[in-house]
Structure formats: structure tokens, C-alpha cells
Amino acid sequence: MKFYMPVRVYDEDECVKAHAKDIAALGNKALIVTGKHSAFANGSFDDVAEVLNDVKIEYSVFSEVEENPSVETVFAAKDKYASAGIDLVIGIGGGSPMDAAKAIALVLKHPEADPAYLYDKEKDASSLPIVCVPTTCGTGSEVTGVSVLTRHDKKTKISMVHKVFPTLALIDGKYLKGASQTLIVNSAMDALSHLYESVINAKADDYVRMTAAAGLKTWAKIKDVLSGAREMTKEDAGILMRASALAGMSIAGSGTSLPHALSYALTYDLSLPHGRAVGYFLPAFMEAAPAGERDELLNLSGFESVEEFRSFTGSVFGEQDVPAEELKRTYELVSSNAAKMKSASFTVDEEVLKQIVFWKK
Ligand code: NAP
Ligand code: FE
């Protein structure tokens, strides 16, 4: 067994401002990586910029990261900043800017890197230091080494092969304050899927079960916020962020499984948000999983049965119809991928995969 989670995590109010010195210790010239709008609206960019000004670190801003960032975007950033003397990358936002920041920090460290570098296990995986400031509550990217990138050449999303962990994660629930209920639901369901998939996973061990159990108990506290039974408080926002980080630590240990693998083509073809695409398959995956472990996970997260969980996802996401042709493409992509077929803790053959993919038919 191995427990490797090399990220220094601070999770507290006014976290960015409280850790100016930790940021300053990592470099002299930063590249801030964000999406197009949200970081400038929720206060996260202003907090980071203020701190960098205070500690006299120069910075440039790359704010071109789209949802489900592409390899092309990573190299657009490399082309622009390769000769700018950047020695620190700060990713602010949801999983998209944080994942992009990791790949950008990798390719800026290696001037010779081309797109194939991201998918070549033989290449050196060292990167510039990375700071992550999450503003959604789902991916846990601030504590994982994974960068999921859109591959337009393959019409889907594929993680780069290198594990590039941030050095520092600065977590503060305040950035969730203005987020829509839809964004909160989509990202919190992504976190829940990480907690389930990391444990119902061929690579799960007691360390993964430890972080997942803590994450599931934490997640259970905000279930009512997702269902709309009550408004999100400041405390809830912190809990949502914490559940997401604990879920990230769990997938850092064992990875994700079939709901994630199945989600990528749906997101590519239908522009379904990540958490929602994963959530489409999650109840059927749980139904197919061995009852003992599955029910324990469901109970820890506040559900008495698979039926209750399925009805919860139905109520938070609403009706979701996926065209039959799309499901067929997804099925073919995953059934032909031997590693993905072996990723769950139980045997998944073509019949079981069909039950998970075509659950609605
Ligand atoms: P996202 O794609 O980063 O952001 C979704 C949307 O939410 C964007 O429009 C973004 O705006 C907006 N947004 C972000 N923070 C906001 C806030 N506080 N208030 C209001 N709007 C906000 O969403 P995500 O679900 O966090 O990330 C999804 C990506 O992460 C996918 O590519 C997925 O594959 C990946 N992922 C990675 C891991 C990992 O381990 N690395 C795990 C799971 C998923 P802007 O574009 O303007 O910022
Ligand atoms: Fe995910």
C-alpha cells in the first residue's frame, strides 16, 4: 500500500491572505491561470492579486481556460509564456483552470514539450510549483495529480499520463457564495462520485477507505442544501469544499472508475457538465456493485438504499435523456478499453456494462 498526497493543504477562512508567505516562498514570477469570468467575479482573483502585490511577486494572467480544457489551450499558454521567466503557476477556479494549470506548469518546465509529451510515460514529469485555489466543490483537483484534458483529435477527454500535484492548496468556501444552485449540485455530485468510485475500485486500499469515509460523512451534512431543503450557509460552503478535497484525496489514491470513464464522451458530444454526465451513470453503477460495500457507502453519505439514491439524483438533476446513438458510442469506447473495464472492484463484463450504460431503456 502507498499513501502519497504531497500537497500542503490549508482549509480556512481568508485562506489566501493568510498564506501570502507560503506563496512567496515558491517563486518570483507567477502565471495566474483562470477561466474567462468567474475568478474575477467571486473575489478569488482579487485575493490572489492583492497577496502577490503585497509580497512583490510579478504576475501575468492567462484567463483563456474553457470548461473541459483542451490540449490546444495548454499549448496556447505555453506559446505565450515560454520565454517570460515564469517560475510559479497559480490555478484559480474549478477543475478546468486547475487541471489546465497543472499541464501548463509541466510544459513550461520543459521547453521541448509538444502535445505528445503529455501522453508519454517515459518523459520527465517534474513541473514548476503550482498553487491551486478552488472555487467549485467537486473535482478536488487541488489535491490530485490528475489533469483531465479534452482531446479534439479523439472527440473525448483523456487525462495526461503524468501525475503533477500542486504544492499548495488554499481552500476557502467563500468563493462559492455567488455560485448557482446548478453549479453547486453538479460539482457536489462529482465529489460524491469520487468518493464512491475510489472505494468501489480495484485499487482501493485502507488509506483510500479512510479519506473516503471522512469525505462521505462530511458530504452527508450538505445533502439538504443540494435538495434545496435549505439555503447554503457560510458553514455549508466550507463543508462542500472539504468534502470535495477529501474526495480528491481518495481518487488520488485509487483513481476513478466506470461512471467517470463513461462520462467523457457525453461531455464532449452533448456539452453536459462533468458532474452531471458522471451522475447520469452513478446510480446504475452503484446498483451493479456488490451490496455490502455499496450499502455502507450509501449509508455513510446519508442514503438508505440505491432506490433512495436514484430518486435523489433524479430530483437534483431533473429528467435527463441521452440519445441512444450517444450511449452506443460511449459503450463502445469504454468496452474496448481493457484498463477501464478492470477499474471497478467487481467484475464488469459486457453485460454488466450494458446494464450501467443503458439503465434507462
Ligand atoms: P469548471 O469547468 O472548472 O467550471 C464550470 C463553470 O463554473 C465555468 O463556467 C466557471 O466559470 C464557473 N465557475 C467556477 N467557479 C465558480 C464560482 N465560484 N461561482 C460561479 N461560477 C463559477 O467546473 P468543475 O466541475 O469544477 O471542473 C470540471 C473539470 O474538472 C472537467 O474537465 C473534469 O474532467 C475535471 N476533473 C478533474 C479532476 C481531477 O482530479 N483533476 C477530477 C474530476 C473532474 P469560468 O469558466 O468563467 O471560470
Ligand atoms: Fe470528476
DSSP three-state, residue 254: helix
* CATH code for the domain defined by 181-357: 1.20.1090.10
Mean model confidence pLDDT for the chain: 98
Ligand 1 in contact with 176 (CB < 6 A)?
A: yes
Q: Which of the four pLDDT bands, split at 50, 70 and 90, describes residue 240?
A: very high
**348: part of which helix (H) or strand (E)?**
none
* CATH code for the domain defined by 8-175: 3.40.50.1970
Q: What is the Cα–Cα distance from 46 to 29, expressed in whole angstroms? A: 17
Of all protein residues, whose CA lies closest to atom 20 belonging to ligand 1? Answer: 179
Ligand 1 in contact with 91 (CB < 6 A)?
A: no
Tens digits of residue pLDDT in 147-191 = 999 999 999 999 999 999 999 999 999 999 999 999 999 999 999
CA 236 to ligand 1 centroid distance, Å: 19
Q: What is the Cα–Cα distance from 162 to 123, expressed in whole angstroms? A: 8
pLDDT of 326 above 90: yes
Compute the C-alpha angle 259/248/172, nearest 5°.
130
The CA–CA distances, whole Å, from 153 to 35, 150, 269, 322, 334 equal 23, 9, 13, 23, 17
For position 138, what pLDDT does the model report?
Answer: 97
Q: What is the Cα–Cα distance from 321 to 215, expressed in whole angstroms? A: 30
Ligand 1 in contact with 318 (CB < 6 A)?
A: no
Tens digits of residue pLDDT in 265-321 = 999 999 999 999 999 999 999 999 999 999 999 999 999 999 999 999 999 999 889
> Which listed ligand is nearest to 279 at the C-alpha?
2
For position 320, what pLDDT does the model report?
Answer: 85
Burial of residue 101 (number of CB atoms within 10 Å: 0-12, 13-18, 19+) = buried
pLDDT of 361 above 80: no
Residues 6+ apart with CB under 8 A from 291: none
* Average pLDDT of span 12-33: 98
From the CA of 66, give the closest atom in ligand 1: 46
Tens digits of residue pLDDT in 55-82 = 999 999 999 999 999 999 999 999 999 9
Ligand 1 in contact with 142 (CB < 6 A)?
A: no
**193: part of which helix (H) or strand (E)?**
helix 181-199
Ligand 1 in contact with 187 (CB < 6 A)?
A: yes
Q: What is the Cα–Cα distance from 6 to 340, expressed in whole angstroms? A: 26
* Average pLDDT of span 330-356: 98
CA 134 to ligand 1 centroid distance, Å: 9
Q: What is the Cα–Cα distance from 57 to 177, expressed in whole angstroms? A: 28
Between helix 291-300 and helix 206-220 the angle, nearest 10°, is 40
For position 244, what pLDDT does the model report?
Answer: 98
Could you state, in order of their start, the residue ranges of all structural domains in the chain? 8-175, 181-357
Q: What is the Cα–Cα distance from 295 to 273, expressed in whole angstroms? A: 27
Question: Which DSSP symbol is given to 70?
Answer: B
Most ligand 1 atoms within 8 A of CB, residue of 36, 136, 142 to mutate: 136
Query: Could you tell me what percent of the chain has a pLDDT over 90?
Result: 99
